Structure 1
Amino acid sequence: MSHLYLDETLDLDSVRQGDAVELGGDEARHAVTVSRLRVGERVSIGDGRGRVVHGPVTAAEPRRLEVEVESVGDEPEPSPRLTLVQALAKGDRDELAVQAATELGVDRIVPWSATRSVSRWEGPKAEKGRARWASIVREAVKQSLRARIPAVEPVASTRELPARLEGERMLLLVPGAETPLSGIRPDGRDLALVVGPEGGMDPAEIERLTLAGAEPVRLGDSVLRTSTAGPAAIAVLSVALGRW
C-alpha cells in the first residue's frame, strides 16, 4: 500500500533526485510508530501545494523520517476549479460530505450557514468548526494520495455567498429543478456546487442566489441526504470536466 505524508512547511521547490527530505513532528511519529514504516520502504512526501517526492526511507526514528528522493512529481492547479459550498448540518453529515468530496477531487470548500442549518458556527465555534473540517480534508487528501490540499474557508452566510463565489458558475442542487446536472457543460468558469442542509434550501435563499446568477440543477428524481448530494454531484461534474 502506498503512503503519503504531508508537511506544508517543507520547501520542495529545489529538491532533486538524490536529495534527502526529512519529515518531522507528529507526521513522522505517525509514520514510524503507527504505520510502522521501516528503512527501505518506499513512501511519498508532499507539501500540499502540488509537489510530491517519492523514494525509500533511509532513517526512521520516533519523530524523524528521512527519505532519499528517487523522483519528483508536480500536480498543476486544476482548471476549471471545483468548489463545494456545504451547508452546516447536524451530527456528522456535513463532515461526511467534506471527507468524500475531498477524496473525489474537490478543490475548495466553503462552509455555509444556511437558513435551515441546525448546526451553527458562531463566535469561537466558527474557527473551531473550520479547523475541524480542515483536519478532515487533510486526512482525506493523504488517504486518496492527492498532491494538493483543498482550502477550507471561513463560514459564509447566504448574503456573503455571491461575493465569495464571484466569477464562478454557481450551481444550486435543488430537487425538482428543471435542468439536470448531467446536462451542464463547462464554459471555462470555475464551478461552485451549493448544497443545502437536511431540510433543503429555503425558497427565499434559492431566489436570492438565483437573482445573483446561480443556476438551480437537479441530480435526479430521488432526494439525497446532504452528506451524499455534494459528492454525487462532484462525481457527475468530474466526468463533464474530463477529470475522470
Structure 2
Amino acid sequence: MAHFYILESLESASVGSEVVLDGSEGKHAATVSRVRPGEKFTVGNGRGLVLTVEAESVSKDCVQLRVLHVEHKERLQPKIILVQALAKTDRDERAIEAATELGVDAVIPWSASRSISKWDGPKIEKGIARWSAIVREASKQSIRAFIPQVHPPVTSNELAQVLSGADIVVLDPTGDVPLSSFIPTSHQIAIIVGPEGGITETELDTLRNAGATIVTMGNNILRTSTAGPAALAIMNAKLGRC
C-alpha cells in the first residue's frame, strides 16, 4: 500500500468498477514501480477522491485496476495559503515542497523587493509549471488527497489585494506577537515569508495597513526555505489540522 498515484482525469468511481491508470503515471507504475497483478495500492485525483485498488493486468505503460474502496476526503479547515518569496537556488522550491507535505492548501510566488530570483516574461510560465510539478510530486510522496493550487506570481503592490478577506500573517523577526499566540478570525489564513534579505519596511507597512499581523517564531532567524513549513506546523497543531 506504499504506492500512491494521481490521475487528474478521474471524476468518480464505485466499488467493483474498473479504472485505467495510463499516461506518465501508468508508465511509472508499470516500468519503475513494477506493479504486478494482484498488488493493492491507492489512486487519487488530487481533488479529494481516493481509491483503494487492485491491479488486474499490467502492460508497459498502462495498469488495469479494480476498485476495492472509495473515499471522499474533506479539506482541512481553515484553509492555509503560503505566500513564498522567490529565492535564490532552490530554497523557495524546498519551502513549497515541505509545506505541501505538511498540508498547505495553496502557494503564491511573491516577487518581493529583495528577491534575488525574478520571474519575467517566459520565466513566469516556466516557474508556475515547475512549482506545480513540485507540489504534485510532494502530494504523491505524502499521499495527500488534495494537490495545493499554485497561483500566478504577485508583486508587493498586488499582495494585499490578492489576499483580501484572509487573515494575513507575516513572519518577521520584528514581529509584534508570537505566532503561537495568533488567533485567526476567518476561514482562510495567508502565511507570508520573505526572501533571504528580508521584508522591507515599506512592504511591512503596506501589509500592516492591509490588516496583517507581524509575527515572530522566536529568537532564531530561520531561512526562507524553513520559515514557512515551520509556521505551518505550528498552525496545524494550534488549529487541530494534524
Q: Judge same fold: TM > 0.5, yes or no.
A: yes
Cross-structure match for 1:137: 135
SS in 2 for 1:141: helix
Instruction: State the 1:188 CA deviation.
Output: 3.4
The structure 1 residue matched to 2:186, chosen from 178, 185, 188, is 188
Question: Percent sequence identity over matched residues?
Answer: 48
Alignment of 1:201-240 (within 5 A): 201-240=199-238
Q: Are the aligned partners of 1:186 and 1:241 in contact in 2 as well (CA < 8 Å)?
A: no
> Residue type of the partner of 1:111?
P
Counterpart of 2:3 in structure 1 is: 3
Runs of 4+ in 1 over 3 A off after TM superposition: none
Which deviates further from its counterpart, 110-119 or 172-181? 172-181
Alpha-carbon shift at residue 90 of structure 1 (Å): 0.2
Aligned-pair CA distance for 1:113: 0.2
Look up the equivalent residue of 1:75 and give its one-letter code.
K
Q: Given that residues 87 and 113 in structure 1 are in contact (C-alpha distance below 8 angstroms), is that contact kept between their aligned partners in structure 2? A: yes
Q: What runs of 5+ residues in structure 2 fail to find an aligned partner? A: none
Give CA deviations for 1:173-194 in whole Å, capped at 9, x if unaligned. Answer: 0113120000112323310000
What is the TM-score of this pair, normalised by structure 1?
0.97
How large is the Cα RMSD of the aligned pairs?
1.0
Match of 1:199 in 2: 197
Unmatched runs of 5 consecutive residues or more in structure 1: none
User: Contact 2:176/2:213 (CA < 8 Å) preserved in 1?
Assistant: no
Q: Which residue identity is paired with 1:63?
A: D
Q: Give the TM-score, by structure 2 length.
A: 0.98
Partner of 2:86: 88
Deviates more, 1:123-132 or 1:177-186: 177-186
Task: Give the length in aligned residue pairs.
Answer: 242
Pairwise CA distance, 1:11? 1.7
Kindly provide the amino acid, as one letter, of the partner of residue 70 in structure 1. L
Deviations 1:9-50 (A, max 9, x none): 2222xx111111111111100111111111111111111110
Please state how far the C-alpha of 1:78 moved relative to its aligned partner: 2.5
Comparing 76-85 and 184-193, the one that deviates more = 184-193
